[in-house]
Structure 1
Amino acid sequence: MNKFGVQYLDKKMRMHLREKDILHDSTEQHQETREILRQFQDGYTERDIDNVDSFVEKLFFTGEDICVLGTGTGELFLGSEQVKTLVKDDWENWGNVNIDCENASISVEDEVAWFATTGSVKFTFEDTLERYDRYLNFIQKKVEETGITSRQKISFINWVLSLTYHQRMEKKREYLWPLRLTGVLIKDANKWKIVHLQFSIPKGNFPDERFENSKKHLESYNKQNAMLDKYRNNQMTKELVTLLKSLETKLIGNKDISKEEVNKFFAEGSHPYMIGPNDQWCNGIEELRKYFVQNSDLNLTLDLEHSIASKSGKIIWVTVTGILKKNLTDNELAERTLEELENLFQADLSSKEKIFAAHRSSAYMLKESATGVDYTCPLRLTAVILNRSEGPVFHNIHFSFPHYWLLEGKVDNVFDYEKEFK
């Protein structure tokens, strides 16, 4: 989270979990869970709208106790009927999804299973008159927007132009954007059913949504919290609130945190991990400790009054929103942009693509600098919590910033999973 202003090229989250020795697929339950992921992938590959209802009814728990977070702020879906709406919209409008089912990290305890994996979403950009008309209309609306300064408007337009106006030879271009997917399944009538999912796309140079950049982002955040309040079977407890508060008061923002302190909040013997909003996957107590130290200059506030929790046996899963604050001066912003450019020079890209990326980085800096030194960004997190005798502890946490802008070049292309894992 601390890398505001930096997008590391060629340092993708290519975490082959088998190499980390955290997969234990020896049980039938692990194999059954992986088969559910394969069936989920099959549905997203075929994208047969006529099969949406049967797809959801087969793979998801039926009823109101489902919670799915999409990649954007407004994409919160509660209950199986809302999940059908999400799936239908994904199959009609989203890019081609490819999930790494075979290398997913899967954990099972009693009648609860949970997983984490990576993947990609393929987006296609094509030079057409209609495309340029849409962008022109988009820019015009930004000019007419109220509540922001003229400098913010101009710097934003410059950023959009840096991503959309270029001289690429290919008329039609395809990009694989990185995707992370985590979820929880429970046994229902002796069959595994999905009860919780979070999709996320790592941020570009900066989080897409910054409250100082547009009042729309704050409105979306408040609307999302109001939606969370509608969850009917909330099993949040004082103990869980205390554990979640530790992220604010004990972990993030603590530059001197020790392994012993991290051990108090994470299940050390169960291979704990954390997925950050960048291309990060931290495995084990020491990597988690380093993550918190690296993010010691951030201020996290969780909206725990809007958080929700579900439980089966000793396993709990939660969905929480929050706000991340940071102060970043113009000089610090410029230094981080130069850091990105240094990484860019070493990347395995053509000179033309490097020029596009350099323009993008510079435009990002100018856009964010125009708004001032205060950064206030919405954040989402989901987590699996183990209820131990000494109290609840985290097994994993999935942080993400909302994905808002679908613009060419905003996120670097990712490697091809279809080839990588064959």
Structure 2
Amino acid sequence: MSTSWLSLEDALIKARATAHAVSDVEYVSLAKAHRRVVVEDIIASTNVPPWDNSSMDGYAIHVTAESSSLANDNTKATDSSGKTFTVQGVITAGDRATTPLHSEHAYKIMTGAPIPQGANAVVMLENTSSSDTNTVTVHTLPTAGENIRVKANDIASGEVLIRKGTLLRAEHLMLLSSQGLNTLPVYRKLRAGIVATGNELAAPGEACSDTQIFESNRAGISAIVEDENVEIIDFGIVKDDKASLSDLFHQASNTVDIMISSGGVSVGDADYVKDVIDSMGSIDFWKIAVKPGKPFALGKLDDTVFCGLPGNPVSSFVTAKLLVLPIIRKMQGRQDDLGLFTVTATLTKDIKRRPGRRDFQRALMSTDTQGNLVVTPLKNQSSGVMTSITSANCFMVVHEELAELNKGDAIPVIPFT
């Protein structure tokens, strides 16, 4: 087992290589498909729109090249009296004209209704006037094709709508609904086990001795993971002894796809987790050049991926975001959005630090009076102070080679979402 520190990039490469996508497929209704991952390309079977239709309420007419030319000149309008058409009928959405448009006639038409045969433009209702139901006066002539949504201009039958490995969001479900789809093939939900280790830990709501603290990491890690639409199995708190840990991880290897523990992966005398995992399976690495979060362990228990997070709450939170989420997304079969969203902001104060590790400082990002993004690191950056997370709204990323930064420098920032 290597003891050298890995860069974050190398750690992510190794982590994603270790993680394999689940292969089990299930069919779910569209109503249950939100934040599920599709297992194949979804191909359009229907044109959208299925026919030329009106993009607004108005009147469908036929315009000639001459009248279109007039409409396109600098005046854009006819004289104040306009041009009068005989109203041939009314076409509502869900209906269609039964006869073609006659010369010098107009169909009153509603948004979304099919364009009648013979019409090639729609006049906005606001550009017309009418004193009776039989005639309409057009005060501004449209150009040919104006206010018409052409058949298949959104989706053409046969094109790829959604690529394999896409995490389905609300916009995808609306798109699929427009195709009349109701059932989709998706990968089954990932099963993630969460456990905290340590004799010093008491569960919230239970008695806590004067030598214990309330365990806090499971709740936060579970919430981070659950946001990825993963099934959570809570293994509770396990004591720091090899027998208990061996029993736990044996059970986990038969139950979950990924096991996430917090605590027990550092170099203390009672830090048994990585040794137990190494004896039962394998440990790929356990030191990463990041701050906070250096003691992060990655390994395997049979087909179960193991992620050992540090016990300090901020370190646990940071490594869950940086490393556990990309692993989970790879295991879900996703081909998109494997990383964390980053923006650039201007630093508001000087920083001096010891180089060597990439530092994810907790910070507050805002906009200045000119609307530019600015960022200010919080004063307390201790890995044991969880209020440095709750008081922040972003991570400010200081790269490992930098010993100091100056006020006004541009710096990458990862907003909390």
Task: Please indicate the TM-score interval, normalised by the length of the shorter structure.
Answer: under 0.3
Q: What is the TM-score when the length of structure 1 is the normalising length?
A: 0.22
Whose helix proportion is higher, 1 or 2?
1
The structure whose RCO (Cα within 8 Å, separation 6+) is larger is 1
TM-score (norm 2): 0.22
Which has more radius of gyration? 2
